[in-house]
Structure formats: structure tokens, C-alpha cells
Amino acid sequence: MPAGPTPHRHAAASRASTPHAVTPGALFQLVRDGHADSRAGLARATGLARSTVSQRVDELLLAGLLVERGDGPSTGGRPPTRLAFDSHGGVVLCADLGATHCRLAVSDLDASILAERPDEMDIANGPDVVLPWAQERFADLLHEVGRSPAEVRGIGVGLPGPVEFAAGRAVNPPIMPGWDGVSVPEAFAARYPGVPVLVDNDVNVMAIGEYWTSWRHDVDDLLFVKVATGIGCGIVSRGALHRGADGTAGDLGHVQVPDAGDALCRCGNRGCVEAVASGGALARRLTAAGIDAHDSRDVVALVRAGNVEASTLVRQAGRLVGEVLAGAVNFFNPAVIVLGGDLAHAHEQFFAGVREIVYRRSTALATQHLQVARSRLDDRAGVIGCAVTVIEDVLSPAAIDAGLAAHAAQEATA
């Protein structure tokens, strides 16, 4: 049975089928999604009168959200104009902050990265050091691409710990001393007044980056699994990130696996998959065996150098992660599992180990269409996910309508 289109993916179009609900924001969404590129096309898609469409399109043109381009398909005579979303009409600042590494970037409004910079940075230095440092890097990047702070439409930040998304702050993050309860948006408010700052867990932003870039047109349900120093999972359900009641959904690292023995986990429990199969766990086991390794990157370097012990451990880790994912597949029935993080790319056998166990241990129905893929964005998944998180927020139909209404109110009182 072919999978039919699901309702949410065409939410803009179905909203648009009821003329009274067709706000300028809804028309903008139709153009941005590629469903229409002319006033006539918008009138056809929505059932609105041409005059009403023209009036709303004029508002969007005036606000700089849409532009007219003289390159429509020619029918002879004057070249027709085409309506297009102006992805250069602003920029987004993106900060993917890891435990010891980070990547900062400037993107345009379709999440294309204009400039980026990977860096060493210790999150344990605390927010009073890390956030001002990030502001300086952002200023450098804006200068590099020739854009001004006034053009910043939003700021996206990924943090390596649990995050209360609505408030933009980390909550009891185990590896981030000094960050508990600190409001990240407040730190940016002075230099970027009124600019939305969206903060999320680093694995969630990676999941959204991968989904938006490679999968959103084809699938609705995806798991992104990061296996690096720790193990975490971002859940995309019906095309949107699923954070759970308290923002901790996808904390896969602390699921027990029968073959994990009684290894003590940093969460205080024993037998968690993270305690035996993460890059950190493998580094500790190699060190105990007299092989120098401090973190997941060292493990990867050993595998690439042909170290037999490291290769064997990575193969076993793939099967252990596969055991946990087999349960997740039965529970959630994703269309795709994307594997990212250092270990996912360290060794073909890690990937093969995950696949082998997932397909063997999950039910036949859950795996008949399941794809297991590697991350396509790798180290850039986080910054692209930060950009997408911001763009989907500030360019949503509701946000566009609110912005136009506020502008109209300002005009009226001027």
C-alpha cells in the first residue's frame, strides 16, 4: 500500500483552502514551500479573489518577505514576474556548543551557511565566559559576510545537556557547571534587542538539521542517534521535534542493555548503554587495557590507525547500540534511523553492527520499510539545525501575521 500524504505536511495548503483563514502568512508559506509562485497561482491554490491575493502579496513585498523576479516561464512578450521568498532578507546566528568543541555560523533564511567557524571551547568554563566569547565570534562572522547586527532575525543555540526549550535555559546539565537555570536569551538581549533566541539540546538540533536537509519531503518519523562521548537521540514525529513533557525525550543513553554487565554509568545506574558503548566508555576501557585514549575522537583515531582492540570494541558497541535501537524501533516505528557522532563514522563495522541487530530484533512489520542511514551533515548538523529551528519559528505563518499586524499598528499611530 503506498503511503499517502499525511495531513500535517500540507497544513498550509489545507488551511489555505478556507478563504477566510488565508492570512498573508499562509500565502507566504505557500510561496516559501514552492506551492505557488504567482498571484494567479496563489488565487488558484486558495480560492481567494485575485484582488485579495494582490493586496496581501503587496503587504509581503513591502515587508521584504517576498520579492518579484522577472524570470517566470516566458509566453512571449514581456517576461512574466515570479514571486519568490527572499532568503537573503536577513541572517540567523547559530551556535552549536558541545562539551569541548563548538561550531558557530551565520546562515541565510533558507539555512544555507554563509560563514562558519569550528573551535575548541570548554563548556565547563561556564556561561559568563562562553556566552560573551560566542558574541565576539558572532560579530567576527557577521563582519566576514558583510552583514550588520540589525539584519539578524534570530539566534539558535544548541547545548550539550537537558534544556527547557520555552525558557531557553539548561536544567541540571551534568557536564555544564554554572549553567543550571541560566537564561541564554538574556545574554544576547543587549546586543540583539527583540531578536528571538531559541535554545535546545544539541542532539535535538542535529536531528532537526538532518531531517530538514535530507528527509522532510519523504518521511514524517525519524530517529537521529548521536554516538560520541555520550549517546543521545533526537525524535522527529509527524514532521516535528518531539521533546516530551519535560524536554528529556530521546535520552536513549540510559536504557539498560542485557549485555552491558554492571558498568557504572555517570547517571548513577548500572548497565546503561552509554556506560559500555559510548566513545567515553570505549576510551576508558582502552585506557584500562594500557592503550592511551581520553575521548571518542581518540577512539576514532585508534580505529583509523588499525588498532585491533579499538576496532573490536567499536564493533561490539555497534551491536549494543543496535539492541537499544531495536526496542526503539518496535516502540516508535520510525521510517528512518540516522546515525551521527564520531563513532558512527569511525568504522564500517559499527554501522553494520547497528543494522544487523536492529533488523534481527525488531518486528518484521516495523522494519519492512525502515532505512538506517549515516548522517549526511556530520559536524554541520548542529549549526544547520540551529538555523532551521529559528527559521521555522520566525517565518511561521503566525509569526509573519503578527509581524505585519505590529507594523500596521505602528504605521497607524505614526
Whether residue 228 contacts residue 186, with contact meaning beta carbons closer than 8 Å, is answered with no
Does 166 bind Zn ion (CB under 5 A)? Our answer is no
Stretch that binds Zn ion, among 264-272, 291-299, 332-340, 350-358 (CB under 5 A): 264-272
Comparison of 280 and 397: residue with beta carbon closer to Zn ion = 280
Q: Of 238, 209, 206, whose CA–CA distance to 222 is shortest?
A: 238
What backbone phi and psi angles, to 5 degrees, belong to 302? -65, -45
How far apart CA 90 and CA 78 sit, in angstroms, is 31
- Residues found in the chain: 414
How far apart CA 10 and CA 26 sit, in angstroms, is 12
How far apart CA 272 and CA 126 sit, in angstroms, is 28
Q: Of 269, 235, 234, whose CA–CA distance to 254 is shortest?
A: 269
Comparison of 108 and 274: residue with beta carbon closer to Zn ion = 274
Comparison of 3 and 267: residue with beta carbon closer to Zn ion = 267
Comparison of 88 and 284: residue with beta carbon closer to Zn ion = 284
Q: How far is the CB of 234 from Zn ion (least distance, A)?
A: 18
Cell numbers for 45: 491554490
Stretch that binds Zn ion, among 101-109, 237-245, 250-258, 296-304 (CB under 5 A): 250-258
Comparison of 248 and 269: residue with beta carbon closer to Zn ion = 269
Among 267, 365, 398, 405, binds Zn ion (CB under 5 A): 267
Does 324 bind Zn ion (CB under 5 A)? Our answer is no
Q: What is the size of the binding site for Zn ion (CB under 5 A)?
A: 5
Comparison of 26 and 272: residue with beta carbon closer to Zn ion = 272
Q: List the interface residues with Zn ion, window 270-289 (CB under 5 A).
A: 272
How far apart CA 304 and CA 268 sit, in angstroms, is 32
Does 265 bind Zn ion (CB under 5 A)? Our answer is yes
Does 233 bind Zn ion (CB under 5 A)? Our answer is no
Whether residue 195 contacts residue 158, with contact meaning beta carbons closer than 8 Å, is answered with no
Pairing of strands 82-85, 66-69: antiparallel
Comparison of 198 and 231: residue with beta carbon closer to Zn ion = 231
Comparison of 142 and 273: residue with beta carbon closer to Zn ion = 273
Comparison of 47 and 174: residue with beta carbon closer to Zn ion = 174
Q: How far is the CB of 270 from Zn ion (least distance, A)?
A: 8
Q: How far is the CB of 271 from Zn ion (least distance, A)?
A: 8
Stretch that binds Zn ion, among 62-70, 246-254, 302-310, 358-366 (CB under 5 A): 246-254
Whether residue 77 contacts residue 70, with contact meaning beta carbons closer than 8 Å, is answered with no
Q: How far is the CB of 382 from Zn ion (least distance, A)?
A: 23
Residue for grid cell 517576461: 79
Does 254 bind Zn ion (CB under 5 A)? Our answer is yes
Q: How far is the CB of 254 from Zn ion (least distance, A)?
A: 4
How far apart CA 166 and CA 225 sit, in angstroms, is 23
Whether residue 344 contacts residue 374, with contact meaning beta carbons closer than 8 Å, is answered with yes
Does 39 bind Zn ion (CB under 5 A)? Our answer is no
Q: How far is the CB of 397 from Zn ion (least distance, A)?
A: 41
Beta bridge partners of 115: 106
Does 257 bind Zn ion (CB under 5 A)? Our answer is no
Q: How far is the CB of 262 from Zn ion (least distance, A)?
A: 12
Report the SS3 class of residue 264. strand
Does 328 bind Zn ion (CB under 5 A)? Our answer is no
Beta bridge partners of 240: 237
Contacts of 289 (CB under 8 A, 6+ apart): 309
Cα dihedral 268→274→279→281 (10° resolution)? 50
Does 264 bind Zn ion (CB under 5 A)? Our answer is no
Q: How far is the CB of 172 from Zn ion (least distance, A)?
A: 14
Interacting residue ranges for Zn ion, rule: CB under 5 A: 254, 265, 267, 269, 272
